[in-house]
Every structure is written in structure tokens, then in C-alpha cells.
Amino acid sequence: MTGVLVVAVLIASVVLHELAHAWVADREGDDTARRQGRITLNPISHLDPIGSVLVPLVLFTSTGGGSVFGWARPVPIVPSRFRDPVWSDIKVSLAGVAANLLLVPVAALVAIVAFRLEPLLGVAVADGLVLAAGLAIQINLTLALFNLLPIPPLDGSHVVYHLLPRKARPAYRSFGRYGILALMVLLLLVPGALDVVFTPVAFLTDLTHAFIRLWI
């Protein structure tokens, strides 16, 4: 049951992540995502069967629930349509990360309300909400920090791209064709390769839980 809840929370989180990309891109002048039906909360429009379901379940099971992340289908972007080729690209890239980070305090608030209203909601409902909120905190922190890695085509790479000398940009961007594959190989060959993400996620999760305990 927990595995199903993990996938449900992850799906909601990656959908909002991609929706944020699509919405900001539309605001910045590129309506490609809108024309392809990506400015929607309908998960079918965003999900990737492997990245949104299979990988999260395998990772959650193999780590005993200690770590989970995944991804959705990338939002189609045509940078040449942006009003500002640099700042628009950066805003669109960081919009998904911002959406995930905003979901963390929302989840914390849900947990606090569930704790306080347990007599009204009942133990089963309150415990379910607290569990979902806890998963949302961990998953959204993981998505935010994972996507900030400077590995093309992850969101953080777009910021790094615009900071690089112009001569270095084409080679860096071309690595995007192999970036995710290289990351998967790294994960298989180097245990703990993603500790650079999971360690701060664990710290920030504990910090958020400590904040919640102050209000219950």
C-alpha cells in the first residue's frame, strides 16, 4: 500500500513540476507546450511509464523506502520563441524546481492540520494524510535537488549552460543526448553516487519534520 502511495505522490509531484515548466514557458512567449496540451493537471499528458512508475517503485523497494525519485516526459520547449533567450530559459528551467520546493511547506501544513484534527478526522484518515505529507516532503525535496544537478538535460544544466563561455556551450549541450544514460550507468557502477542529493534531502527532511513537531 505504501508503494502505491509513493507512486501516487510522485506522479502528482512530477506533473506539477512539468506543468510549472509549461506554464512559465507559455508566459515567456513559447506556446509550444500549450498547443501540445501540456498545460494541464491530467497526468496522462505528462507521465513516462519508466521514469514515473517503474524506476520509483524499484528504487523505493531496493532502498527499503529510503530513497525515491523519478521523472516525467520533458515539456517541449522552443527557446527561439522566448522573449529573452537567456533569462526566459533560466526561468522556465527553474520553474519546476520552484514548484517542488513550494510543495514542501504545503505538505508540512497538511501534516500539521492532520495531527491537530485527528479527533475530527479519525485515526485512519489522519495517519494517511500524515504519511502522504511525509512522502511529499521527501519526494519533492529529492526532485528539486536532483533536477538542480548540472547534468544535461536536467534543469540545473540550463543555468550552467548560460554561465559557460560561448565556445564551451555546444559540447556541453550535446552531452544532453547521453546525460541520463550516463547517470544511470553511474548509479549502477558507483554505489552512493547520488549521496550528493540524498544526504541534503535527508537533512532538509529532518529539518522539516522538526518544524512540524513544533506545531503539533
Q: Which residues are catalytic?
A: 18
Q: How far apart are CA 175 and CA 161, in angstroms?
A: 11
Place of cell 501516487: 8
Cell of 124: 485512519
Q: Where are the beta strands (DSSP E) in 45-171?
A: none
Residues 6+ apart with CB under 8 A from 158: 89, 90, 92, 93
Enter the C-alpha cell of residue 1.
Answer: 500500500
Using CA atoms, how far apart are residues 152 and 160, in angstroms rounded to an integer? 9
| DSSP conformation class of 44 | G
